[in-house]
Structure 1
């Protein structure tokens, strides 16, 4: 969901929302096992189990990834040490239905990853034994109650998120005097109640309340040629209470709109009111849709931004006003759909990292505006084409310079072909990213640099040998393009992967 979504989702949704859903169980037992391997000594194994009955369902997932990878600091400037990566993930989703009017659900996800990292990007950035360990755990349980023949659905939920990471670096031959120990621990507890009242297919009203309690602490110590340094904060905490309402109304066959408002009370930044209005006008005879939205949002600074060694306790909350207007058109009996949207987002007191003072700060104002175009076409039976193109203009009003790492133009396109009675498929994906500014932190004070644009081509193929066995393969960065997404840091060259998935 693009644009400010603070009305329904709160402070962190100032720029949009990505919604991730854990797979649910199945009425019949399904077991799927897959394995793949390829470039950079990469191996990935996955197991999925889904089962269920009339009274409930369960879904389990496990995955493991190992990679010899490549140097985090760009190899083109002499960094040759390969930085490995490994990740273990587990997920669980379960639900029981003791009555027709009641569901009890549980979701659990855990990710544990470890990566070799380098001291910095660019020349001399290699470090053979610096390790970053990241652990994330999410747990949510909820009760869903349906009343008045299902017209009112109430969701009572509580969720816990734990996030811990360590960044450790021991002395080595290249850095015999350097040692670092860094640890961060964060916890978020959320209680929420959401009511969804559906009066008719044309009218839906959502209202709810929630409270979040965030706690965090960190410890940092380093020693080297410039002597010892330590910085600790916490445990620090913050609480946010939120109250919101959203109305979807289809006033006529050609006009529908949603209206939302939210009040948040943050223990540090105080009260904030946000709203969102998003109308849609549909002309069925011509297959035309006009879309628009105007919304406000805000984001409170994180505890890390406030109280860490880089923190600034004087930071204020970011505020944004965004709007967009667009049109979509179906052509040739919906064989082709095209559309375009103009959007603008004005952000006050944007939180950024000052490369001169090494402290987070608010800048007066930043503007983001642009145009997005898309096309979706079913060229012939089995052959689908999609194209997305974005033109973007950003500005920090205090410096009159563009925001970092925002490309002025981007394009992504996919051509997907299925054949052999849909048992086989081929796909080609193209991604173009234009020039964008970044910071070179290898000099002091840091200097702005321009990263070159790049174009990548990926190829993918799948083949279902039987209903239970499928083969898949892909080639990424087919033409072995050298590029940087962050100044001084490397990216993968041409790489190939292949694997098999078996359903039991």
Structure 2
């Protein structure tokens, strides 16, 4: 994965996304979003766009890319005092989250209304997640180790292959270049006996860097599930606190041997231990390990040609216990080897050609029919600029040892007007390969499954105004051959490619600086429908709210900083039959910090200020009012 040099980083506006939409639909909702604030005096809404690499696998500014993108950098993570990935991603345009409890509990992310397995998750360019379930371990990704997160919405299988149906989320670990050797430290304590500690050392200059860090977190938790035997939820009544412990560390280093050759490597490990409400059959404790390692060499044999070779591996390991008795294990190992070539043909003309090979292997107590598979992908991309117009074309062919060949493509066009408005339109296809559970689980798997396939289209507009920046997008995604469990005989149930869905969405975003307040707001309207034949036809897809809204506001008063977040979610249903309704909810978070110096700050945050009781998955409780204090030393 090509990443830009640190010298290319520029200040980032809060959650700076580039979003798209047709203007006639945007106008009335815009009025609702900013009818009052736009009347206030704007101090200076001018900000510089962040560099994005995930959308095209090459470095572009956020306003250059034709994709719908959000970037969250380290400064925003610290300002918002986010401590979990769920908190970090909640409220972004097109993102919906569901959780089975508190810290460490399994979480699902639905990007643009697609399934939880339809989002490709990368850490430093390496694919992570379980090959058995097909989902990413959001609950075990340590926020303390993150430098920035890029969220790309829309199909990206034409560059990355399987899973990039709803989009791609890439997490970059910390790699600070500070001279001389500089320490950092964070100590925190809060509700439910929660304690946190993390520290690191950074050193670097224009030629190289070294960054190392360690962290620890522990919480007594709360009763995560109010399950009813034979009815729902965790199907047990186990009213006890479900605690969580996590230990994590990371190491990153790089060196530039010359202007034409550089080498870098990254390693991250996170160990989790979480209690959950369970039984002697399913267990009630899970010990997990998430580990990612990567080595990348970048060479420039000729002035217009940059060649990148990357090798990496990710591990997703789970050990299930009942009390202290071992029950089962599910281990995934994913190997990656890639070669990418970026060739510049004059100003504004670039071709990218690449090949990547991935091998997935699983180790479980249960004997699967097959425990490994290989996939090789060949991809090409053209980026062109013609005056005020931008063009992106990409194609990819995947050859998989299980389901054979599969091709995908994307096309996007953008046009910028002299007044700052930019219109865009794009179409694309994507696919999702079946998981090992769907293919090979004993007594359940179906080795004849085909990949799930999607077609997407979107149009949009973005621009700037005297009160700030704004953008929006309108899209539709149709997914065919969705895998669902069907009854083959009175006693046999198998996964089959039988389901279809149609998802339509509208995303609006705006930011401004109003009277010294940094304001950021977005609204997502979603219509995710089941289009399969049968009794569920026309129903909403489960656990996706149809409306979400978030407003962030922050201001600095000398050494004191204050801010808050309002998040509003509409109702959702827990299952495909739409029989169990989960009511909408509103959450208010407040935050403040005091700077003793440029490097030392005391932070305080109240989450769920009004102690809202809500569920994102039926029978699973969510955290009530939570208080957290953090002492942060970061030169």
- Band the TM-score falls in, shorter-chain normalisation: 0.7 to 0.9
Structure 2 portions without partners, runs of 5+? 1-151
Paired position in structure 2 for 1:213: 359
Correspondence for 1:341 among 451, 455, 473: 473
Q: Is the 8 A contact 2:285 2:323 kept in 1?
A: no
CA shift in 2, pair 1:35/1:202, >3 Å: same
Please give the alpha-carbon distance, in whole angstroms, between the structure 1 residues aligned to 2:243 and 2:433. 35
The yes-or-no answer on 1:84 pairing with 2:238 is no
Correspondence for 2:284 among 108, 130, 134: 130
The yes-or-no answer on 1:152 pairing with 2:311 is no
Q: Deviations over 1:213-234 (max 9, x none)?
A: 1111322xxxxxxxxxxx4325
Cα distance, 1:330 vs structure 2: 1.3
Q: How many residues align?
A: 468
Paired position in structure 2 for 1:101: 260
CA shift in 2, pair 1:405/1:359, >3 Å: farther
Please give the alpha-carbon distance, in whole angstroms, between the structure 2 residues aligned to 1:45 and 1:7. 41
Cα distance, 1:359 vs structure 2: 5.2
Which sits farther off after the overlay, 429-438 or 474-483? 429-438
Greater relative contact order (Cα 8 A, min sep 6): structure 1 or 2?
2
Cα distance, 1:369 vs structure 2: 0.7
Correspondence for 2:590 among 449, 459, 471: 459
Structure 1 portions without partners, runs of 5+? 120-124, 172-178, 220-230, 441-445
Paired position in structure 1 for 2:294: 140
Please give the alpha-carbon distance, in whole angstroms, between the structure 2 residues aligned to 1:170 and 1:56. 47
Secondary structure of the residue that 2:397 maps to in structure 1? strand
Correspondence for 1:112 among 253, 257, 271: 271
Cα distance, 1:477 vs structure 2: 0.3
Cα distance, 1:500 vs structure 2: 0.5
Q: Deviations over 1:431-473 (max 9, x none)?
A: 1111111139xxxxx9831111101011111222102211111
Q: Deviations over 1:19-39 (max 9, x none)?
A: 111122414122101101101
Correspondence for 1:393 among 527, 543, 554: 527
Correspondence for 2:600 among 448, 469, 478: 469
CA shift in 2, pair 1:479/1:434, >3 Å: same
Residues 233-272 of structure 1 mapped to structure 2, 5 A cutoff: 233=368, 236-252=371-387, 254-272=388-406
Q: Is the 8 A contact 1:24 1:94 kept in 2?
A: yes
Q: Is the 8 A contact 1:439 1:487 kept in 2?
A: no
Structure (1 or 2) with the larger CA radius of gyration: 1
Paired position in structure 2 for 1:225: none
Paired position in structure 2 for 1:223: none
Q: Is the 8 A contact 1:202 1:250 kept in 2?
A: yes
Secondary structure of the residue that 1:403 maps to in structure 2? coil
Residues 164-183 of structure 1 mapped to structure 2, 5 A cutoff: 164-170=317-323, 181-183=327-329
Please give the alpha-carbon distance, in whole angstroms, between the structure 2 residues aligned to 1:63 and 1:353. 41
The yes-or-no answer on 1:407 pairing with 2:545 is yes
The yes-or-no answer on 1:186 pairing with 2:313 is no
Cα distance, 1:353 vs structure 2: 5.5
CA shift in 2, pair 1:133/1:206, >3 Å: same
Please give the alpha-carbon distance, in whole angstroms, between the structure 1 residues aligned to 2:564 and 2:417. 34
Secondary structure of the residue that 2:174 maps to in structure 1? coil
Secondary structure of the residue that 1:7 maps to in structure 2? helix
Which sits farther off after the overlay, 38-47 or 71-80? 71-80
Please give the alpha-carbon distance, in whole angstroms, between the structure 2 residues aligned to 1:489 and 1:265. 40
Correspondence for 1:26 among 163, 177, 180: 177
Residues 294-373 of structure 1 mapped to structure 2, 5 A cutoff: 294-309=427-442, 310-332=444-466, 335-352=467-484, 360-373=495-508
Cα distance, 1:289 vs structure 2: 1.2
Secondary structure of the residue that 1:304 maps to in structure 2? helix
Cα distance, 1:385 vs structure 2: 1.3
Q: Name whichever structure is richer in strand by fraction.
A: 1
Cα distance, 1:387 vs structure 2: 1.3
Correspondence for 1:12 among 142, 145, 163: 163
CA shift in 2, pair 1:75/1:65, >3 Å: farther
CA shift in 2, pair 1:216/1:79, >3 Å: closer
Please give the alpha-carbon distance, in whole angstroms, between the structure 1 residues aligned to 2:369 and 2:267. 27
> What value does the CA root-mean-square deviation take over the aligned residues?
2.5
- TM-score, normalising length: structure 1: 0.87
CA shift in 2, pair 1:460/1:15, >3 Å: same
Secondary structure of the residue that 2:257 maps to in structure 1? strand
CA shift in 2, pair 1:461/1:351, >3 Å: farther
Correspondence for 1:3 among 131, 154, 162: 154
Q: Is the 8 A contact 2:227 2:619 kept in 1?
A: no
Cα distance, 1:379 vs structure 2: 1.1
- TM-score, normalising length: structure 2: 0.70
Please give the alpha-carbon distance, in whole angstroms, between the structure 2 residues aligned to 1:353 and 1:58. 49
